[in-house]
Structure 1
Amino acid sequence: MLYCDRCARGARRRGRALMADEAARRGQRVAFSCSAVGLSCMFGGIWLGDREVLEASGLESPVLSMRICSLLMYVVLFAVACRIVRRRVDVRLFLGACSALGLALFAAGALVVLAVMPQLPADCVDRRLAGLAGLSLTKFVGAPVSVWLACAFALLDRTAVMRACALGMLGAFALYSTLSQAGVAQLLGTVGTVGAAGLLLVCSVALCMTGTELSPRTASRRVPPGALGAAFAAPGVVKRPLSKVLTPGYAVAIVLSAMMLGFLRNGLEVGASAVGDPHADPASLVALVALLAVALLWKGLRTEHVFYGALLFATAGILLQPVLSVAAPGASGVLCGLGTALFEVVMWSLVVWVARNSTDAFVAAAAARLVAVVGHLAGTAVVMGVGLILGSSLQDTLHASGLVVVLVYVLLLVAQLGFSPQLQVPFLSPPVADADACGASGPASQDAEGGQGEFADASRSESEADIDRRYWVEPCDAVADMYRLTAREREVLELMARGRDMPYMGETLCISRNTLKMHIRHMYTKLDAHSRQDVISIVEEARQLS
């Protein structure tokens, strides 16, 4: 009888565990779908609205004005984010209120540009001020919704983040390209296109609410200050302070990626001129659908794969432009358009990585998006600066500025791979040093061979095996479980955390240097680490949590 009761209790526990696992998987599927589709709706709506408002605003430099407006919005949001985290307010509720206000301002700005401006006399100051005011109002919605979406992405499982980024951003370009086709644009007209943009933004806000589980019931709760960052905490992620995640090297990577985007997307400024918008080409839509299929089927997709594809498409479109303009007119624009789409995927994944690994996802997402907008403004300034210097045609300006941006990227790659290994760029496999260049500081430099300092004191009450298990084995096991490391990668993790160099690790594990480097690279990728010191810090944080 007792045995039957135990079996029944065990079966009930297993049943509850299975139900909890199924609920977690269902929640991840919902979060994945809401994040990807919400990203498509948000950027698709913003780009459509930008195109129509920019063309109707009548400003002399509309793209530059748009970038400056966006920068101001993100500066304000970041300043508010730094203050609001200290208050007992649900961050999701704050972002929802800002997004609702942004939608109202978007409608007001579109009304000013499309309805009020045509009633004003041409070439008057009031008309230009109205255009600038309408453009500023339409840009408010992008900051809170994009930060909210980055926080929603932070809830995803590590293996799903990159695919969700690729599907969401490529879907945004596919939406934009579909609604930009000549027949569709003519059917909708300016007012219809702006209305479609507003509807996409409303859908994006609704998906943010669903993906982050914001409801009237949850919005009424009072959240303690320490739990604000946990509102967007993905399971199995060791959080770090923002300064340890958004490092100078990481910020440089985001700015340079955004600069490339600021250059490539500058076709918005020329409108229907000779260069035009490459995404309005039907061939671009077909290529985007093909890339969407690849992202959907490629379950092992990583950020570096997308980065190399983006660099390849953009470089080919810029460098081969003189040849392609004769052999296949429009092909250069399509290649640059694909490079734009893939660079957007890369940059969004960089923003998500910051939000996902920081102790407060809200502040981290706002900071990363602010850095990205700075890069967008810099990319637009590159095109305008080259145009002022050369004083030539627009086509020559775009080509020359493209060469400048590609040159900057080549210098970045050279710096990363050889001359400046401390400049860590997340979408490149980090170099594996032959020895510990930075060393291990504090307790992490100790191992089980000899106890000194705190180990010597602890050995009076604990055996050496207990100390080794508590200080090294258990934290490394916890990190290996969190990040799904293989057995060999877990062994490499512990030896690296102990401060061992590569010759010692290779001899201990009886593997070659190349095999060891392969395991270290795989471990770096899974941990989102970029150096030996990052690995040591992750183990140290796991030790403190335990």
Structure 2
Amino acid sequence: MATPTSSDGVEPAGPGPAVAPALVALRCLVALVLLMASGGVINGTIYASMASFFAVGREIATCANALAFVLLAVVALRRPSLLDGRAVTAAVAVAVVAGALCMAAGVSLRNPPLLLAGLLCRSVSSAWVTGMFTVALSTLPTGRGVLLVTAGGAVLSGAAGLLIPAGCSVAVACAILVACTLVPLALVQGIADPSLACIRRGGGIAMRDLKGFAPFAPLVLCMFLMAVASGYAIAFNQQNDAPVVNLAGDAIVAVVFVGLLAASPRKSEDLLFTLSVLLVVAGYLVAPYELVSAGGFANALLGAGRDCFHLLLWILLAFVGRRNLFMLLPVVGFVRAASSLGTDVGAIVGHATNRLIASDPQIASIIASVMLFGFVAVLWVCFRRFSFTDAVNEVRLVTSPEIEGIGSRIDDACRILGKRCGLTPRETEILVLLAKGRDGKFVAEKYVLSYQTVKTHIKHLYAKLDVHSRQELINLVDQTQAAMAADAAKDERAEG
């Protein structure tokens, strides 16, 4: 099973960040540490506190997380104009705070509907933050830089978890969750914004490249298998309804990280996939021996296997983003949805194993063996000839001239609308900027106008175009571009 060669040297398929690569790496590293630490808080405190009166809420929340990622993928495919970074981030920030308040109140009052509302808010915000982080990560120019960020995040998140007070109250846990979501958003927002603006201008390029998603089906399946192992590790031998905490997994990842830094790029990627598979197999093998005494080594091995695979996954996603930015969020959405569903399946099996340990440990042991056989069998059947290299290299490369062409098509569509609807030259210029995702403050700064004057221009052009919102304006420009493309195709057929 081959893995991709180093992605170093691949030019980004979108605009580069306005921040130095070293600072981008540092901000992404801090964001990833906080995001991963928040997972420990939700599993160790929130889910543990609700287990006695709303245990099924854990599975419902994980399924909601999968749906949120699917929604992100669908929006990125069909309505990329909705991916307004600042607007969505503002809405998500409100959802994060509201969700934390609902979770705290839901646990305190033992109210499942209120608790579920908070968990749903978290699912939506988690999908957006993950998408923003991945877009920011893809702006790093080399695969080695991505490895430094993601491996460092995996190692340091374990240390960050130790700083969280053991047995902290739900209110404190919810406050930590808010910080672990809003701070990463603030860190990656400015890095991801130029790329999001480029995606919005793309007008559904990824939707026209749907055949390019076929090579990623095995990756989605592989992510599902690894997530099943991760979910099983989270639930297996839980203590007080909280996952077993064992730093051995972090130590394994740290050793792998140091080894990868000394390896060649190609060898490091080969090792990542091989090590992730071997660690998961070892975890399943050890699990039957820990049915009575929860040493946590099975959990550590399974978790380390998951983390090693995640390192490879981040490198792949960053490479996809540099090769074809427009496909990045759809791939992220579907892969992470598979991860959430796999985690749910693994957790259900893990909880079932825990219930059987006291009454029938032999069946519990058989379940671990079946999990191992299924993992190895699917990998053997589906991944013997699969090459991650081929999958990523089959992604259509979007070049800078094509991206620049997107902007010129928007300019042409806006000029046509301006003539058709009687816009003044200044209003047409503002229309172009609005269609490219800029806001009124940017327009005011670019043309050295007062913000009030810009608002008046926008009000007039809205009236002339007969639109009532930014989204309607963008839709109108998209329709004009589609009509232009149809006319051009008709002319080509006539000439042929």
Shorter-chain TM-score category? 0.5 to 0.7
Contact 2:249 2:300 in 1 (8 A): yes
Picking from 152, 166, 182, the partner of 1:185 is: 166
The alignment status of 1:310 with 2:276, answered yes or no, reads: yes
* Aligned counterpart, 2:230: 264
Structure 1: 5+ residue runs without aligned partners?
1-22, 121-126, 231-238, 431-523
Contact 1:245 1:358 in 2 (8 A): no
The alignment status of 1:246 with 2:213, answered yes or no, reads: yes
* Aligned counterpart, 2:85: 95
- Mapping 1:272-421, distance limit 5 Å: 272-273=238-239, 277-278=243-244, 280-295=245-260, 298=263, 300=265, 302-323=268-289, 329-358=295-324, 360-361=326-327, 364-381=328-345, 384=348, 392-393=356-357, 400-415=366-381, 421=385
Alpha-carbon distance in structure 2 between the residues aligned to 1:51 and 1:323: 24
Counterpart AA for 1:193: A
Alpha-carbon distance in structure 2 between the residues aligned to 1:112 and 1:271: 29
Residues 340 and 163 of structure 1, relative CA distance in 2, 3 Å threshold: same
Structure 1 residue 275 displacement after superposition: 8.9
Contact 2:235 2:243 in 1 (8 A): no
Alpha-carbon distance in structure 2 between the residues aligned to 1:289 and 1:400: 32
Length-normalised TM-score, structure 2: 0.63
Picking from 19, 28, 31, the partner of 1:38 is: 31
Structure 1 residue 71 displacement after superposition: 2.0
Structure 1 residue 244 displacement after superposition: 4.7
Contact 2:353 2:367 in 1 (8 A): no
Contact 1:36 1:168 in 2 (8 A): yes
Q: Secondary structure at the match of 1:64?
A: helix
Structure 1 residue 375 displacement after superposition: 4.1
Structure 1 residue 142 displacement after superposition: 0.6
* Aligned counterpart, 1:146: 130
* Aligned counterpart, 2:482: none
Alpha-carbon distance in structure 1 between the residues aligned to 2:331 and 2:364: 30
Picking from 34, 42, 45, the partner of 1:52 is: 45
Structure 1 residue 266 displacement after superposition: 4.0
Alpha-carbon distance in structure 1 between the residues aligned to 2:140 and 2:158: 23
* Aligned counterpart, 1:134: 118
Q: Secondary structure at the match of 2:345?
A: helix
Counterpart AA for 1:199: A
What's the Cα RMSD here? 4.4
> Which has the larger helix fraction?
2
Counterpart AA for 1:112: C
Of structures 1 and 2, the larger Rg is shown by 1
- Residues 198-229 of structure 1 show CA distances to partners (whole Å, capped at 9, x for unaligned) of 22222211221243366xxx99xx87964679
Structure 1 residue 267 displacement after superposition: 4.7
Counterpart AA for 2:138: A
- Mapping 1:392-471, distance limit 5 Å: 392-393=356-357, 400-415=366-381, 421=385, 424-426=386-388
Contact 2:106 2:112 in 1 (8 A): no
Percentage of matched positions with identical amino acids:
15
Contact 1:255 1:372 in 2 (8 A): no
* Aligned counterpart, 2:60: 65
Alpha-carbon distance in structure 2 between the residues aligned to 1:275 and 1:225: 43
Alpha-carbon distance in structure 2 between the residues aligned to 1:152 and 1:541: 19
Residues 365 and 406 of structure 1, relative CA distance in 2, 3 Å threshold: farther
Structure 1 residue 348 displacement after superposition: 3.5
Counterpart AA for 2:61: M
- Residues 73-109 of structure 1 show CA distances to partners (whole Å, capped at 9, x for unaligned) of 2233233333432x4x7x4xx2343233223322222
* Aligned counterpart, 2:183: 203
Structure 1 residue 309 displacement after superposition: 1.2
- Residues 100-122 of structure 1 show CA distances to partners (whole Å, capped at 9, x for unaligned) of 322332222222222354235xx
Aligned residues: 384
Alpha-carbon distance in structure 2 between the residues aligned to 1:195 and 1:285: 25
Contact 2:273 2:308 in 1 (8 A): yes
Alpha-carbon distance in structure 1 between the residues aligned to 2:189 and 2:318: 18
Alpha-carbon distance in structure 2 between the residues aligned to 1:26 and 1:98: 22
Contact 2:273 2:312 in 1 (8 A): yes
The alignment status of 1:28 with 2:18, answered yes or no, reads: no
The alignment status of 1:108 with 2:98, answered yes or no, reads: yes
Q: Secondary structure at the match of 2:54?
A: coil
* Aligned counterpart, 2:144: 160
Alpha-carbon distance in structure 1 between the residues aligned to 2:362 and 2:317: 33
Counterpart AA for 2:179: L
Contact 1:55 1:271 in 2 (8 A): no
Alpha-carbon distance in structure 2 between the residues aligned to 1:310 and 1:178: 24
Residues 358 and 406 of structure 1, relative CA distance in 2, 3 Å threshold: farther
- Residues 295-321 of structure 1 show CA distances to partners (whole Å, capped at 9, x for unaligned) of 555563643321211111121121133
Alpha-carbon distance in structure 1 between the residues aligned to 2:199 and 2:308: 39
Alpha-carbon distance in structure 2 between the residues aligned to 1:542 and 1:224: 13
